[in-house]
A and B are shown apart, each in its own frame.
Chain A
């Protein structure tokens, strides 16, 4: 069969389904037939699965004319998905086409959810198409003779590449691909990505900069224009609107009519705790929704999640309260309406969520934005503009993630072992490690074999051994087992599984939340009220509770910052608000709703204009507050606050706690800050920026937090594994402790230094910081000494998550704290 005939075959199958292939699908088929690699830019729910699965099957048909009667077993294609939840959907779509074309191709799933029995069966005979996650792919590389498994692999598809790109799981994928390119001779690599700012770069990261694979690749854009309408949910009386808070519960009554008027609604919340609370409140206040409203988040049991997803498809649910767990994949045709509670923090995410509704061709997507506090209305207004102008963010890929590389090298040593001279060029060919130096490489090899850079007496370090022929190999079964268990934990905190005393798995929960409870305490989880009975190993045993007051678990990682693009839009809206407040009339609905709050802000302080930089100071019971308003987004404020605190602390010994949100930041101290001195000393200068930042980082917790993940990924902290009881008590240490030991005894360690570098590159975004400082240097600084917290200040000073910075001697601090108590 030639190419035209093959495409005809696919087209007639499409016709049979009552569909017509999109132009981008056909373009991808043709690209694939030409032997190209590539990146397909297509949104969720657009038929992207068929864009790549079809040519894989068709090529098999072409190469095996007796495909209907004979079947050659063995792995032919891999489909990588970032979320386990998506694998079922892909499996169904893929099997359907393979079957209806009359092939005998098999499709299988291998993720953390796959049973031991299925894994063993797969080890014997791999399915033709394997759907898996980046972690499970690493695990395959950790099994003996993996090279034989992958020998006849023709294609690997990385789905939702934009989600992986700016993460360490993305680095895992880069490394795995660098190996597969050698092992699988005929490999074609394709990525699928939603629209992001740096698509070209995404392709380069996927295929390797300047590589052969990259030279022979194309970027295909689906270009499916979709109309998105954004509507803000605004209360009738603004007085009711809280100045702070992040739940948005006060507007619950406004949400109900939207749910009633729509066939099916998805309600997106930003955190799992918010999701739990919204679901609970809806059920309490509107019991008639029972059975029609469900909840979905990543910590719930897989069965429950799958049930909810199926129910959405069947149109048996009126509404689903969810988190980012429903951001990706899964096509929900019946969904008509989306509600976003609280700021989505990024335009790309907002557009993606909006796209979850109105799947029928030509239908517009409607997304309601529900602000959780008054100032967030400005955000609503900015989002409308962002959607109109399709402003989207970049995803910044990681560079030189030595922790992931340590993990990967150990993986190769666990399975077949490796020779550095073979692996080094592969690693250097990836985007992440293109800049690795020979010294760094040598350091890493020493690290995994000796646990240090020089051999010392009395050392029994054991991990990777160098055999006589120079092969790097793990021979200790315990090391191998712990390493395999550790691979899956790249993203999560120590997780415990939650189970009923009487049996029945409910979901997983982070250890630090449970550690705050004592037996008998009630908490809400997966929509149920539960009472903690006891903790046994890695299991939390619970029974149903009737207590009214229960704690709601909060999950870490719920706090994201505004992107640069979003911050800019926000500032524009802010300035527009200032203009209109002056003029007395408003342009947008949101801004006119905000008028009373603006008036109050104007009365007590000012609303800063384009060329003004506002600083407010006031005193409360808590101490002396200084609030700065750069409107640059949370991440930049985190850096700026620690920079400024550091510089002020050089003037005289002082201790601060720092708070920040997307609008500004606060320095809080028990001593009054001499603001005039701050202004006179030009403390916002961009001079010595790196130096000062580095020093301020040493005194704050940011790098310490980054180190947590690094230590886990590099296998220095053994976290154990949910559902598995492992005797590892003598191996438990928290990463905080480890951080201190490294700081005091081995500060030149590459993994320790990586924590600081990551803080610069991914947390602080140095480039943005410089631009912000430049902007501030061109603004007039307006310092307002206020009587009490202003409407703008309120959401910041009530934030509980704080950084600390001090230039006082420890002993002096203790003594002064004691004095204050006595007062």
Chain B
């Protein structure tokens, strides 16, 4: 179940996986995948389950197949740390991708740009598309609507009977949209939205407006 919103006359579909599709540009936006994180941990002696590695790629494939985008833009932190064997898996994954892939560099992206260029991935420090500013870190720039990641937004939903649910979310304000972290093995930052902000939590199946 997908939730579609309109910003500055353009249409965006939020997917329960945490990715977002920009209809007019046929562009899939994905933030904070943190590929290689599990391998990085394992390389340093922490035995995080290997099976979780495949899941990131499977979910990426699923969301790409669903929207069939002509462009895919990663909003930073595509790779968690220095080069490891998960890069090979990423190369394999790229072979089946016909869309143009772009990466807005995030603070975790320390792998050489040459490696990306070899895969025909175009690197940006930021991307301006009409009235939209695509960055990794949240930014405020006059006249622009900012789409970004980095924060790993999550929301604590409180209910009667002292109930609480913690979920990942899309965090939208007047001039900014922060995407949830797409990656499997990533943490969350619990946001406290202001009046007027919109929060869309994601479950495995749905995107639900809660604030």
Instruction: Say yes or no: is B130 at the interface (Cβ < 8 Å to chain A).
Output: no
Q: Specify which of B80, B158, B162, B204 lies most central, judged by the most chain A CB atoms within 10 Å of its CB.
A: B162
Instruction: Say yes or no: is B119 at the interface (Cβ < 8 Å to chain A).
Output: no
Complex alpha-carbon distance, A203 and B35, angstroms: 51
Complex alpha-carbon distance, A483 and B46, angstroms: 11
Instruction: Say yes or no: is B196 at the interface (Cβ < 8 Å to chain A).
Output: no
Instruction: Say yes or no: is A461 at the interface (Cβ < 8 Å to chain B).
Output: yes
Instruction: Say yes or no: is B98 at the interface (Cβ < 8 Å to chain A).
Output: no
Residues of chain B from 13 to 70 with CB closer than 8 A to chain A in the complex: 37-53, 55
Q: Decide: B88 and A458 in contact? CB cutoff 8 A.
A: yes
Which residues of the other chain, B, contact A810 by a CB distance below 8 angstroms? 165, 203-204
Q: Decide: B161 and A655 in contact? CB cutoff 8 A.
A: yes
Which residues of the other chain, A, contact B43 by a CB distance below 8 angstroms? 460-462
Instruction: Say yes or no: is B159 at the interface (Cβ < 8 Å to chain A).
Output: yes
Find A733's partner among B84, B162, B185, B210 (CB 8 Å cutoff). B185
Instruction: Say yes or no: is A811 at the interface (Cβ < 8 Å to chain B).
Output: yes
Q: Decide: A817 and B159 in contact? CB cutoff 8 A.
A: yes
Q: Decide: B49 and A745 in contact? CB cutoff 8 A.
A: yes
Q: Decide: B80 and A459 in contact? CB cutoff 8 A.
A: no
Q: Decide: A804 and B47 in contact? CB cutoff 8 A.
A: no
Residue of A nearest to B158 (CB): A817
Instruction: Say yes or no: is A742 at the interface (Cβ < 8 Å to chain B).
Output: yes
Interface size on A, residues (CB 8 A): 51
Which residues of the other chain, B, contact A451 by a CB distance below 8 angstroms? 42, 45, 47, 50
- State how many angstroms separate the Cβ of B96 from the closest Cβ of chain A: 17
Residue of A nearest to B42 (CB): A461
Instruction: Say yes or no: is A452 at the interface (Cβ < 8 Å to chain B).
Output: yes
Find B52's partner among A463, A745, A802 (CB 8 Å cutoff). A745
Q: Decide: A458 and B85 in contact? CB cutoff 8 A.
A: yes
- State how many angstroms separate the Cβ of A649 from the closest Cβ of chain B: 13
Residue of B nearest to A452 (CB): B50
Q: Decide: B187 and A734 in contact? CB cutoff 8 A.
A: yes
Residues of chain A from 625 to 676 with CB closer than 8 A to chain B in the complex: 655-657, 668-670
Q: Decide: A478 and B44 in contact? CB cutoff 8 A.
A: yes
Instruction: Say yes or no: is B126 at the interface (Cβ < 8 Å to chain A).
Output: no
Instruction: Say yes or no: is B208 at the interface (Cβ < 8 Å to chain A).
Output: yes
Complex alpha-carbon distance, A253 and B184, angstroms: 56
Q: Decide: B184 and A741 in contact? CB cutoff 8 A.
A: yes
Residue of A nearest to B47 (CB): A451
Q: Decide: A811 and B208 in contact? CB cutoff 8 A.
A: yes
With A670-B160, A813-B165 already in contact, the answer to whether A458 and B39 are too (CB < 8 A) is yes
Which residues of the other chain, A, contact B85 by a CB distance below 8 angstroms? 458-460
Complex alpha-carbon distance, A821 and B157, angstroms: 11
Residues of chain B from 156 to 195 with CB closer than 8 A to chain A in the complex: 157-165, 167, 184-187
Residue of B nearest to A479 (CB): B45
Complex alpha-carbon distance, A57 and B45, angstroms: 44
Q: Decide: A817 and B46 in contact? CB cutoff 8 A.
A: no
Q: Decide: B163 and A804 in contact? CB cutoff 8 A.
A: yes
Residues of chain A from 23 to 72 with CB closer than 8 A to chain B in the complex: none
With A460-B85, A815-B208 already in contact, the answer to whether A737 and B186 are too (CB < 8 A) is yes
Find B48's partner among A624, A741, A811 (CB 8 Å cutoff). A741
Q: Specify which of B47, B50, B80, B204 lies most central, judged by the most chain A CB atoms within 10 Å of its CB.
A: B47
Q: Decide: A804 and B164 in contact? CB cutoff 8 A.
A: yes
Which of A238-246, A260-268, A713-721, A772-780 lies at the interface?
A713-721
Which residues of the other chain, B, contact A422 by a CB distance below 8 angstroms? none
Find B46's partner among A668, A716, A802, A821 (CB 8 Å cutoff). A716
Instruction: Say yes or no: is B139 at the interface (Cβ < 8 Å to chain A).
Output: no
- State how many angstroms separate the Cβ of A763 from the closest Cβ of chain B: 22
Residue of B nearest to A817 (CB): B159
Q: Decide: A623 and B46 in contact? CB cutoff 8 A.
A: no
Which residues of the other chain, A, contact B51 by a CB distance below 8 angstroms? 745-746
Complex alpha-carbon distance, A245 and B167, angstroms: 32
Find A670's partner among B52, B163, B164, B167 (CB 8 Å cutoff). B163
Instruction: Say yes or no: is B122 at the interface (Cβ < 8 Å to chain A).
Output: no
- State how many angstroms separate the Cβ of A192 from the closest Cβ of chain B: 37
Instruction: Say yes or no: is A814 at the interface (Cβ < 8 Å to chain B).
Output: yes
Instruction: Say yes or no: is A820 at the interface (Cβ < 8 Å to chain B).
Output: yes
Q: Decide: B45 and A657 in contact? CB cutoff 8 A.
A: no
Complex alpha-carbon distance, A243 and B160, angstroms: 24
Complex alpha-carbon distance, A452 and B161, angstroms: 42
With A461-B47, A731-B46 already in contact, the answer to whether A814 and B160 are too (CB < 8 A) is no
Instruction: Say yes or no: is B206 at the interface (Cβ < 8 Å to chain A).
Output: yes
Which residues of the other chain, B, contact A463 by a CB distance below 8 angstroms? 45, 47
Which residues of the other chain, A, contact B55 by a CB distance below 8 angstroms? 745
Q: Decide: A715 and B45 in contact? CB cutoff 8 A.
A: yes
Which residues of the other chain, A, contact B41 by a CB distance below 8 angstroms? 731, 733
Complex alpha-carbon distance, A804 and B162, angstroms: 9
Instruction: Say yes or no: is B198 at the interface (Cβ < 8 Å to chain A).
Output: no
Q: Decide: A623 and B162 in contact? CB cutoff 8 A.
A: yes
Complex alpha-carbon distance, A462 and B85, angstroms: 13
Residues of chain A from 724 to 760 with CB closer than 8 A to chain B in the complex: 730-731, 733-734, 737-738, 741-742, 744-746, 749
Q: Decide: A668 and B162 in contact? CB cutoff 8 A.
A: yes
Complex alpha-carbon distance, A58 and B145, angstroms: 83
Instruction: Say yes or no: is B109 at the interface (Cβ < 8 Å to chain A).
Output: no
Q: Decide: A657 and B52 in contact? CB cutoff 8 A.
A: no
- State how many angstroms separate the Cβ of A415 from the closest Cβ of chain B: 16
- State how many angstroms separate the Cβ of B118 from the closest Cβ of chain A: 19
Instruction: Say yes or no: is B89 at the interface (Cβ < 8 Å to chain A).
Output: yes
Residue of B nearest to A621 (CB): B160
Residue of A nearest to B53 (CB): A458
Q: Decide: B39 and A820 in contact? CB cutoff 8 A.
A: no
- State how many angstroms separate the Cβ of A412 from the closest Cβ of chain B: 15
Complex alpha-carbon distance, A451 and B84, angstroms: 16
With A458-B86, A814-B208 already in contact, the answer to whether A746 and B163 are too (CB < 8 A) is no
Q: Decide: B44 and A479 in contact? CB cutoff 8 A.
A: yes
Instruction: Say yes or no: is B205 at the interface (Cβ < 8 Å to chain A).
Output: yes
Find A622's partner among B45, B161, B164, B201 (CB 8 Å cutoff). B161
Q: Decide: B157 and A814 in contact? CB cutoff 8 A.
A: yes
Q: Specify which of B38, B44, B205 lies most central, judged by the most chain A CB atoms within 10 Å of its CB.
A: B44
Complex alpha-carbon distance, A741 and B159, angstroms: 27
With A459-B50, A744-B52, A804-B163 already in contact, the answer to whether A482 and B45 are too (CB < 8 A) is yes
Find A820's partner among B40, B160, B165, B201 (CB 8 Å cutoff). B160
Q: Decide: A459 and B42 in contact? CB cutoff 8 A.
A: yes
Q: Decide: B160 and A623 in contact? CB cutoff 8 A.
A: yes
Complex alpha-carbon distance, A684 and B89, angstroms: 52
Q: Decide: A814 and B185 in contact? CB cutoff 8 A.
A: no
Q: Decide: B44 and A462 in contact? CB cutoff 8 A.
A: yes
Q: Decide: B159 and A820 in contact? CB cutoff 8 A.
A: yes
Residue of A nearest to B44 (CB): A731
Which residues of the other chain, A, contact B38 by a CB distance below 8 angstroms? 741
Q: Decide: B161 and A657 in contact? CB cutoff 8 A.
A: yes
Please give me the 3 A-B residue pairs with the lowest Cβ-Cβ distance, nearest first: A623-B161, A817-B159, A451-B47
Residues of chain A touching chain B, judged by Cβ–Cβ distance below 8 Å, are 447, 451-452, 456, 458-463, 478-479, 482-483, 622-624, 655-657, 668-670, 715-718, 730-731, 733-734, 737-738, 741-742, 744-746, 749, 802, 804, 810-811, 813-818, 820-821
Q: Name 19 extra pairs, CB < 8 A, besides A622-B162, A731-B44, A817-B160.
A: A451-B47, A452-B47, A459-B50, A462-B43, A462-B45, A478-B44, A622-B161, A655-B161, A657-B164, A669-B161, A670-B159, A670-B161, A715-B45, A731-B40, A738-B48, A814-B203, A817-B157, A818-B208, A818-B210
Can you give 21 contacting A-B residue pairs, CB < 8 Å? A459-B50, A460-B39, A461-B43, A479-B44, A482-B45, A622-B161, A668-B162, A670-B161, A737-B186, A745-B49, A745-B52, A802-B162, A810-B165, A810-B203, A813-B163, A813-B165, A814-B157, A814-B201, A814-B210, A817-B157, A817-B159
